[in-house]
């Protein structure tokens, strides 16, 4: 059985066989209708291998039908495989008659042998069905990578990027000696969503970091929602961080300030229809999310963009740019809100992976069909615009998610919409400690009113349905106790394996901002060893909510993250930069949080340069909920765009000393860890000598 990885990132694989089932013929088949001969077909159902049934053609008006059709299945060697073969009589005017079903244990078929079975259906009438079985082994190599460790390509990138970062840090921190190996801190940028506002601000933030010589100190850039639009545009240029960013900002200004009426023109609608039809023909599951992606392409890109996410590998080949990580969440398409089920899904130019399961596929294979860890049908990789629509789909919200985001109140949903779950095991604590047995649950469905309400609140009419690359994999019987799984285990359904993603036909990927409007999770993987996270929060009105929610989430999950505790004065008067540090936990990164606020920029046009009376209007940038930068506005005036750019650039430059201090702290932490590690290894080496 292919199973999810254990604590040591091992995976338990069993042999996978290919089963061929050849439906030959039937003899002397009769039905209750004596006036006509039957119109027979055969259905095959193997739930342990395939969710849907397979069926033969119909042989009309015949008591001795011959089909001679072969069907193929992939089966696990260590689970019980029972094939159900059912015979039906087709009826055009009424429902088909189900004549009989044979349940056949495939354990009766030896490997590499052909077995002919004559199933006696009725001895008195000599009715029989002839079926031939053949099982062969197939190569063990999986196309889904199972393991929580980083992929080889990312490891190679990190080795190259480390040299770039070491040189940049030596220069910007004015260090006397070189940083070597593990002494080099890993700095990451975390960008939130926010539509065109997030897209615009990230350009400005990166411009400021480059101006200060800090951009080459960054190893990762993680983004969610609108900030991913900036990232994907930048990485079309393999040398973007080594070039001037002013041209990118100029292009962004043209795109954000121009009218969007052409996006909805008849010409564009015909183009969308043509592109979606082509995508569907290539095997892509199309939805409104894909249409939204084409609209993003129309609004923020000049012409059709043929680039794909895997093309961005060219921008990482020499470690010349930070590694981009794009974040989404996998949710249930119907009946379950994001509060009750969500799974982090990360995209890089190398891989697409679900964090909780430690399962990843090559980015080139995203959108292809997988089963039991094998690539079954290779489909073309989707264009980047379709992923932009997925990462930044402001329409994928269901009503209960909207309720939660706007009120933060869960009691209404808990009372009226949620299935009631009661634990029946009396010795629950003992069982949890001593075994991997699941708790016994009694599920009480909601009332009729609650069911109707639940359907309305949780329906996602505009979802991002994708091929599920976990389909056919089975969770290890001890999965609930594996530490990596537990790190991201945050829903009731995690204790119900039959409800988890490997048993779903499709993924439903949506904007990560509808749980927490941040992209912290991929940066908190212990394998990435991130020391500093520079957090760019583009939220209006609630500039600390994302980092506070992340802190609460990490505390619950046992993930290293500094405490976010603020006094009343700090909450009432938001600062341009917050520094959160946990001195007692070396595994918790330093978080520098830059909210979207307008504080000293009102009086200073540049750090240390007061505004004149004539310049005062430029410092008046409205970042309240009633500002022109609200989420669903994709067109700004030139004046509003320029003000937003100057504000976000200023906030970074005005807090350069805080960033440099954090870098110094990270370097010292790294050196201390390295020294401690060497001290631990010294006695071992001496003993060996």
> CA 159 → CA 38, 263, 314, 319, distances in Å?
69, 43, 16, 8
CA distance 529 to 673: 12
**What H or E segment, with its residue span, contains residue 160?**
helix 152-172
DSSP symbols for 313-348: GGGGTTS-SPEEEEEEEE--SSS--TTT--EEEEE-
State the Cα–Cα distance between residues 142 and 13, nearest whole angstrom. Answer: 9
List, in order, residues 6 or more apart from 419 with CB less than 8 Å away.
Answer: 443, 444, 445, 446
Count CB neighbours of 3 within 10 A: 22
Could you please report the per-residue DSSP string of 504-546?
-SEEEEEEGGGT-S---GGGG-GGG---EEEEEE--SS-TTHH
Look up 96 and say whether it is catalytic.
Answer: no
Token couple for 380: 């073309």
Name the phi and psi angles at 298, rounded to 5. -65, -40
Name 328's bridge partners. Answer: 345, 511
225 is catalytic: yes
| Closest listed residue to residue 662, CA positions, set 572, 562, 557, 595 | 562
Q: Write the DSSP assignment of 413-454 as a string of letters.
A: HHHHTSPEEEE--TTHHHHHHH--PPPPEEEEPPPHHHHHHH
User: CB-based burial of residue 688 (10 Å sphere; 0-12 exposed, 13-18 middle, 19+ buried)?
Assistant: exposed
Please tell me the distance from the alpha carbon of residue 557 to that of residue 289, in angstroms, as a whole number: 31
Whose CA is closest to 49, among 503, 469, 507? 503
- For residue 589, give the nearest of 657, 649, 653, 521 by alpha carbon: 521
The candidate with the shortest Cα–Cα distance to 67, out of 102, 28, 24, is 24
- Residue tagged active-site, from 401, 494, 511, 531: 511
Is the backbone of residue 448 left (phi > 0), alpha (psi -120 to 50) or beta? alpha
DSSP character string of 192-260 = ---HHHHHHHHHHHHHHHHHTT-GGGEEEEEEETTHHHHHHHHTTSTTGGGS-SHHHHHHHHHHHHS--
Contact 233, 674 (CB under 8 A): no
Helix (H, G, I), strand (E, B) or coil at 592: strand
Catalytic entry in 6, 200, 204, 225: 225
Q: Based on the number of CB atoms within 10 Å of its own CB, is 425 exposed (0-12), middle (13-18) or buried (19 or more)?
A: middle
**Of the candidates 674, 324, 279, 293, the residue with the CA atom closest to the CA atom of residue 519:** 324
Enumerate the active-site residues: 225, 511
């Amino acid at each position: 059985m292919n199973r999810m990885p254990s604590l040591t990132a091992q995976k338990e694989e069993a042999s996978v066989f290919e089963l061929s089932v050849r439906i030959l013929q039937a003899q002397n088949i009769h039905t209750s209708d004596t006036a006509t001969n039957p119109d027979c077909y055969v259905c095959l159902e193997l739930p342990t291998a395939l969710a849907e049934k397979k069926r033969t053609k119909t042989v009309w008006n015949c008591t001795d039908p011959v089909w001679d059709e072969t069907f193929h299945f992939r089966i696990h060697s260590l689970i019980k495989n029972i094939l159900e073969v059912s015979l039906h009589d087709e009826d055009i005017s009424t429902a088909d008659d189900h004549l009989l079903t044979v349940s056949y244990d495939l354990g009766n078929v030896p490997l590499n042998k052909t077995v002919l079975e004559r199933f006696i259906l009725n001895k008195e009438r000599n009715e029989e069905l002839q079926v031939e079985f053949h099982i062969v082994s197939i190569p063990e190599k999986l196309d889904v990578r199972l393991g929580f460790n980083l992929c080889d390509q990312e490891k190679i990138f990190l080795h190259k990027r480390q040299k770039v970062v070491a040189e940049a840090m030596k220069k910007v921190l004015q260090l006397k000696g070189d940083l070597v190996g593990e002494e080099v801190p890993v700095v990451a940028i975390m960008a939130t969503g926010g539509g065109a506002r997030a897209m615009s601000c990230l350009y400005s933030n990166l411009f400021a970091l480059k101006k200060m010589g800090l951009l080459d100190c960054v190893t990762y850039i993680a983004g969610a929602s609108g900030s991913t639009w900036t990232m994907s545009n930048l990485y079309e240029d393999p040398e973007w961080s080594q070039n001037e960013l002013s041209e990118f900002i100029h292009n962004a200004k043209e795109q954000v300030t121009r009218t969007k009426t052409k996006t909805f023109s008849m010409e564009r609608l015909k183009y969308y229809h043509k592109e979606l039809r082509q995508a569907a023909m290539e095997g892509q599951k199309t939805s409104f999310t894909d249409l939204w992606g084409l609209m993003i392409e129309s609004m923020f890109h000049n012409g059709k963009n043929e680039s794909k996410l895997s093309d961005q590998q060219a921008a990482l080949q020499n470690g010349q740019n930070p590694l981009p990580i794009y974040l989404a969440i996998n949710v249930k398409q119907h009946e379950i809100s994001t509060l009750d089920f969500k799974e982090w899904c990360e995209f890089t130019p190398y891989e697409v992976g679900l964090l909780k399961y430690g399962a990843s596929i090559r980015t080139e294979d995203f959108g292809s069909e997988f089963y039991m860890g094998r690539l079954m049908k290779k489909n073309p990789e989707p264009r980047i615009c379709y992923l932009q629509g997925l990462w930044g789909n402001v329409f994928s919200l269901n009503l209960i998610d909207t309720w939660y985001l706007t009120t933060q109140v869960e009691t209404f949903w808990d009372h009226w919409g949620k299935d009631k779950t009661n634990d029946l095991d009396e010795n629950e604590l003992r069982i949890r400690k001593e075994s991997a047995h699941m708790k016994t649950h009694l599920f009480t469905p909601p009332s009729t009113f609650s069911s109707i309400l639940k359907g309305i609140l949780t329906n996602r009419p505009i979802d991002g349905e994708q091929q599920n690359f976990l389909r056919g994999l089975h969770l290890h019987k001890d999965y609930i106790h594996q530490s990596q799984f537990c790190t991201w285990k945050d829903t009731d359904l995690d204790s119900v394996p039959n409800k988890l993603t490997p048993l779903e036909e499709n993924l439903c990927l949506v904007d990560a901002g509808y749980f927490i409007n941040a992209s912290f999770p991929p940066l908190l993987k212990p394998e990435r060893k991130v020391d500093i996270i520079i957090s760019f929060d583009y939220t209006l009105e609630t500039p600390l909510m994302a980092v506070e929610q992340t802190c609460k989430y990490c505390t619950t999950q046992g993930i290293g993250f500094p405490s976010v505790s603020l006094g009343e004065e700090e909450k009432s008067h938001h600062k341009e930069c917050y520094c959160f540090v946990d001195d007692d936990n070396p595994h918790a990164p330093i978080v520098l949080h830059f909210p979207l606020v307008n504080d000293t920029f009102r009086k200073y046009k540049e750090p240390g340069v007061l505004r004149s009376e004539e310049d005062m209007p430029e410092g008046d940038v409205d970042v309240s909920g009633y500002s022109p930068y609200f989420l669903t506005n994709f067109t700004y005036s030139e004046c509003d765009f320029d003000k937003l750019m100057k504000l976000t650039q200023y906030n970074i430059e005005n807090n350069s000393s805080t960033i440099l201090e954090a870098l110094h702290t990270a370097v010292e932490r790294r050196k201390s860890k390295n020294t401690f590690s060497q001290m631990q290894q010294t006695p071992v080496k001496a003993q060996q000598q």
